[in-house]
Amino acid sequence: MSNIKFSALGVLLFLFVSLVAFPWHNGEAGQRDVIQIHPAAIPGQAIVNLEAAKSVHDLAGDIDGRVLKSDPCKKNIYLISFPRDYTFDEIRDALKHNSGVISVRPNYRVALPEVNQGSDIFPDQSNPIYLEGSSPSAYYEQQSEGNVGSDSANMLATGRDVVVGIIDNGVEYYHPLFIYIDSITSDTTLDSTFADMGYDYVDDDSSAAEETGDAYGHGTFVTGIIRLVAPNCRVIPYRAFDDDGVGSSFDVSSAIYQAIEDGVDVLNMSFGLYSSDTSIADAVGEAYEAGIAMVASCGNDNTATPFYPASYTGVIAVSAIDSLDYPADFSNHGAYIDYCAPGVNVYSSLAGEYKWGIWSGTSFAAPQVTGICALILEWKPAYSSLQVDSLIRKTADTSLAWGSFTPHDSSYGYGRADAYEVALCLRRGDVDNSGTIDSSDIVYLNSYLTTSGPPPVPILKLGDVNCSGIINTLDVAYLINYLNSGGPAPCCGE
């Protein structure tokens, strides 16, 4: 197997999904939504939101339909079927006059961006042995890791105990990256990667394991990238896409609601569609209110057409660049882009016979920013999603390999996300590496400058408290002013 290619189904889906767009309407309980049918709606299905006293089975029976699914977190939201002899408009009109019916919505198709792109995976057929921190070298030493500075950042932050939800097509739980092998007994067990085994909304079971198909490996690949940037974070996989990389707005919104219920800190969403969908929009809105930092890919069709959920308020939208910092030729662009990250020839974990490989797409740029969010929340767990976004923006790099640009840019957003600068911002002033900035750091820094004491650890720049470019007695004075007189906090690389 030299490569795996997505089927022509993805191209057809893209043509469907690109035809019509309608604005985000944030429905509220007690209001009835009237939504026009969309060409990418799944035939014979409707999402209904009912008041608690209303029987969904009676409602479905009235239209000769049946209940297909219920949202486990939103007890009054259901997916129902109806005879295909009827259009959605006819069913909506028939249902919306029933007392207790809050809204009736189509169930839209949603896809992983690489389905539309017809993306190639190039497995590493050497099938290298996994050794944490060193092998495969193509994983730990790849260009993308250097471009976002995660290798240096991990000396200061690793995302420890931060919970990352991943809505995708599942994960291969027993990939070498996620298991522990006892050196004495050779027993294989899951390590601490997974905070929870997650849920499979496609097959309606409690195992979000990947299944063989045209999108096989996507979720495992995304998870591996997040673990590269934030190696000590914990993840919860939510399988909302089938083996070919196609899902529905009902399953996606259900996964988002479950992520809220599970208390995830960060949510990676490497999927989307070219029209706003009310069901997903409402779920994203609730996740934002819950303080979850959300990151989404912007799509792979080299278009400025808004891509959702990346375009929603409160979601960090990520475009892809290549190893020379130029926009990837497939990456979408537009006013909604927040940051860019490497997305061409990324190396990560794969499901299947060959455990590692190379893939390109905005799906693989987004999880690098997701990992950066985890680094932030390790040290600032009380940060809101807005504060997380603000810190990434403050430290984003606008001086790229080819030169500098002025943000906001339609391809680069506010800049290339920079894990190293984020980590420095979080830890600057903690010169003794104790985990807190206190009076001992003043003593430590003064000793380094006046009596040849040990330098700031593990990175010398932690002692440049005022970001002057050098470490001197002004940094000691800066720390004293901050700790004793309420002066400004250690600088953030301004």
In angstroms, what CA-CA distances link 429 with 220, 460, 482? 37, 10, 10
DSSP, residue by residue, 55-97: -HHHHHHHTT-EEEEE-SSSTTEEEEE--TTS-HHHHHHHHTT
- Enumerate residues 6+ apart whose C-beta is below 8 A from 321: 147, 327, 328, 331, 340, 341, 342, 343, 344, 365, 400, 411, 412, 416
Distance from C-alpha of 348 to C-alpha of 217, rounded to nearest angstrom:
10
179 burial (CB, 10 Å; 0-12 / 13-18 / 19+) is: middle
The answer to whether 168 is a known catalytic residue is: yes
Q: What's the rounded Cα separation, in Å, for the pair 231 and 245?
A: 26
CA 59/CA 165 separation, integer angstroms: 34
How far is 226 from 366, CA to CA, in rounded Å? 9
Where are the strands (E) in 333-427, listed by range? Answer: 339-342, 346-349, 356-359, 399-400, 403-404
Among the listed residues 200, 218, 338, 441, the single catalytic one is: 218
Q: Is 190 helix (H, G, I), strand (E, B) or coil?
A: strand
- The CB density around residue 84, as the number of other CB atoms within 10 Å, is 9
Cα dihedral 338/220/282/161 (nearest 10):
-80
Helix (H) or strand (E) holding 189: strand 188-190
Verify whether residue 363 is a known catalytic residue. Answer: yes
d(CA 308, CA 274): 6
> Three-class SS of residue 257?
helix
Active-site annotation holder among 360, 363, 385, 411: 363
Strand partners, 241: 247
Which residue in 168, 265, 397, 418 is the catalytic one?
A: 168
Residue 235 and residue 164 in contact, taking contact as beta carbons nearer than 8 Å: yes
CA dist 185 and 99 (Å) reads 63
Specify the residue for token string 């699914």: 69
How far, rounded to the nearest angstrom, does the alpha carbon of residue 440 sit from its chain's CA centroid?
Answer: 38
Report the run of H or E that residue 200 belongs to, with start and end. strand 199-200
Q: List C-alpha distances in Å: 466 to 461, 463, 474.
A: 10, 9, 8
In 111-217, which ranges are continuous DSSP H helix?
113-117, 137-140, 143-148, 150-153
Question: Active-site positions?
Answer: 168, 218, 363
